[in-house]
Structure 1
Amino acid sequence: MTAVLRPATADDLMTVGALHSRSRQNAYRDFLPAEALAADSGDALGQWWSERWKWERETHLMTVLEDGERLVGFSYVGPHELDPVGYGELSAIHLEPDQRGRGLGRALMIDALDTLSRRGWSRAALWVLTDNKPAREFYRRGGWTADGIARTEHVGSALAAQLRYVRDLP
């Protein structure tokens, strides 16, 4: 099968939520408590995405990645919360855990960067969990660099340190 990128629809959001939950549990299990990750079930994240979609669908774009009939990944882009004029933001890239290592995350990132560029931004930013070393390396290989800005946000019920990464857009 060949993976296909397409814009998400409202019908995708519960599936996206379940995928998001599985992706988080797999990627964050070594540094966040299991109970914190369990707090954001697939249903809870599906509802969260459905609510977010209502408010942000005019300014943000979710792209889903399908392999055959199966939704295996997604990305979410829009204006950067700290500097919406100067930066677009890659808010999320998540893959099904069994799909890692196939180049699908890279395909989602390239598509997201192209989308941000087409929307008029010349720079992009994203937030990555400080303890998520594989993700930090993935973004570094994609041309992103940490710019020294940090924050702490909830992931489920746990507080997690995050670093901002930036890069020029193609």
Structure 2
Amino acid sequence: MKFGAVMAKTEDAFTMGKIHSRSWRTAYKGIVPDEIVAAFTADKQAERFARAIAARREEYYLFTVDGRPAGVASLYRSHEDGEPDCVGEIYSIYFHPDFWGTPATQAGLEFCIKRLKSLGYSRLTIWVLCDNIRARRFYEKNGFVRDGRAQQITLGRPLWEERYSMEV
């Protein structure tokens, strides 16, 4: 497996939208209401990625495996008010379901951790839906721990998410 990570460009937005929507729709089926899952389309996500990449408030990456688009991630300084400057956040990391359970997902997470560390962050966070057991196990296996922060969000219905963190 040849893993690659490149900083995303606006022309990558549609590819990223396809990966993100397929991953999101698969991961959250049965967790998020069906009508919300159905509305999470590649086109809508591509538009969101194009705007976000152009704004450059955070870093966006496109991951490849053997030259094939496989995953996406966004990261930078924590978006939470009051967090010290040493806290970086993985805002999102999604892989196409074809790559779930493969070394690619591990390589993608390791890339995000190393990148945030190289930017000078010594503590990293990621928010995870409480009902997303697969993701929670993955982050826990990789050294993230629940740090006691939780919040309710609304995705068609109220859902809880927990913050995971790690020192690097």
The residue aligned with 1:114 is 114
Query: Contact conserved, 1:93 with 1:105, CA < 8 A, in 2?
Result: no
The residue aligned with 1:63 is 61
The residue aligned with 1:162 is 161
The residue aligned with 2:6 is 6
Question: Amino acid of the residue matched to residue 21 of structure 2?
Answer: S
Q: CA deviation at 1:158?
A: 4.2
The CA distance in 1 between the partners of 2:41 and 2:84, in whole Å, is 30
Residue deviations 1:6-54, cap 9 Å, x none? 2211111121111111001111113222211112211111111112223
The residue aligned with 1:32 is 32
Report the TM-score when normalising by structure 1.
0.90
Query: Contact conserved, 2:25 with 2:40, CA < 8 A, in 1?
Result: no
Q: CA deviation at 1:160?
A: 2.5
The 1:89/1:6 distance shift into structure 2, 3 A limit, reads same
From 72, 75, 84, the equivalent of 1:74 is: 72
The residue aligned with 1:100 is 100
The CA distance in 1 between the partners of 2:36 and 2:9, in whole Å, is 28
The CA distance in 2 between the partners of 1:63 and 1:48, in whole Å, is 14
Query: Contact conserved, 1:36 with 1:158, CA < 8 A, in 2?
Result: no
CA RMSD of aligned residues (A): 1.5
Q: Structure 2 unaligned runs (5+)?
A: none
The CA distance in 1 between the partners of 2:111 and 2:105, in whole Å, is 10
